Structure 1
Amino acid sequence: MTAGLTTVVYPVKDLARAKAVFSALLETEPYADEPYYVGFKDAGQDVGLDPNGHARGMTGPVPYWHVTDIRGRLDALLAAGAELVEDAHDVGGGRQIASVKDADGNHVGLMQDA
């Protein structure tokens, strides 16, 4: 079961420039502003900018489905034929993320909060 799709992360090459673009789009400053991640909140949506995303195989924006059992959902997706891109791991504060590719190469992210 999911709690919905409320996070999308964009891989970016120029973090400062991407931050300026999304600040202009969302008309707000980021709530998280670190060299490894910049995050915005707008209308219940979390928008992240990841300067390491391309190196981790992200080819475009990745939607993250919020789940209560990341390992169970990841195993179910792999059993259904998805290809592992990024195994579940902690990204800080107990939050875990993982991602797979579907049969068409689309990235599907999973996120579980502590």
Structure 2
Amino acid sequence: MEAEIILEKLMSYFNVINYSELAEKIGIQQQNISKWKSRNSISAIKKKCRELGIYNEIFGEQFLTTPLTNFSKSLEKKSYIDEDSLFFLEGLFLRAKTQNRLKELKEDIQRLSLNYLN
């Protein structure tokens, strides 16, 4: 896992749009976040998440919490998948995550997929 991806998760978690806002939310200087990213300092990010009491929210269930934007990067060469759909799914995921309803979302998606697999 890369620090940049974890920082994206933190930005989503705190509903901020840049590192300056994130730094303010977590009580550090923006330069620290830039250093974490450039040095890929995952251990420093984990330490801060533990201090904030959000470690499980950011690092728990990694297969479910990997941002869909990262997933979309792996699909860039597949032109049949549009970015708007991925962002829509990411929005659903983030909302379900904040409401502790990830399992329910996964079940709903599985049921919905049956309509399109026939």
TM-score, normalised to structure 1's length? 0.26
TM-score, normalised to structure 2's length? 0.26
Give 1 or 2: higher strand fraction. Answer: 1
Give 1 or 2: higher helix fraction. Answer: 2
Larger Rg, first or second structure (1 or 2): 2
